[in-house]
Amino acid sequence: MSGMRLLLIADTHVPTRAKDLPDEVWRAVDDADVVVHAGDWVEADLLDRLEARSRRLIGVVGNNDGPELRARLPEVARAELGGVRLAVVHETGPSAGRGLRCDRLFPDTDVLVFGHSHIPWDSVTPRGLRLLNPGSPTDRRRQPRCTYLTAEIRDGAINDVVLHPLPLRPPRR
């Protein structure tokens, strides 16, 4: 039996870092049962388009998001998906001590999706909390590629977490 398909994205920064999401990410939106966005949308237009195109969207506000997005999105979102307690937040602070800090701040959570750093992250805390950062599909910063994550929830657990590197864009001429 197939499970619930998730698409995890963050730090899209549309339209400041890119005019739009890459086509591959839009195809992943179409394939997903749930789209999770961990903040830094920049403008509400992308939120509107993702809400219209997603079966279900779970999103939070990021530090680069203005008043319109702050009025529509929480700082922390929580949902139970197929028996998995999910939380989404934009920032978790420095990588040093992240696991223990997140264990303390999210005691009733199985999976925490976060963004902000643009650095993909997949780890498990001492308590067993899964920490996932999809990187950014539009602004790779110091990473070799722009990225996003897909995963599946099946039998009350998150499975098949895959980091997808996007093709490098041709240089501007």
Give the tens place of pLDDT for each residue, 146-158.
999 999 999 999 9
User: DSSP states of 65-102 as a string?
Assistant: --HHHHHHS-SEEEEEETTEEEEEES----STTHHHHH
Q: Which residues contact 24 (CB under 8 A, 6 or more apart)?
A: 164, 166
Structure tokens at 129: 């909390």
25: helix, strand or coil: helix
pTM: 0.95
- Report the distance separating Cα 142 and Cα 122, nearest Å: 18
34: helix, strand or coil: strand
Please tell me the predicted confidence (pLDDT) of residue 23. 95
- Whether 125 shows a pLDDT value over 70: the answer reads yes
Give all domains of the chain, ordered by start, each with its CATH number.
4-165 (3.60.21.10)
Give the tens place of pLDDT for each residue, 67-118.
999 999 999 999 999 999 999 999 999 999 999 999 999 999 999 999 999 9
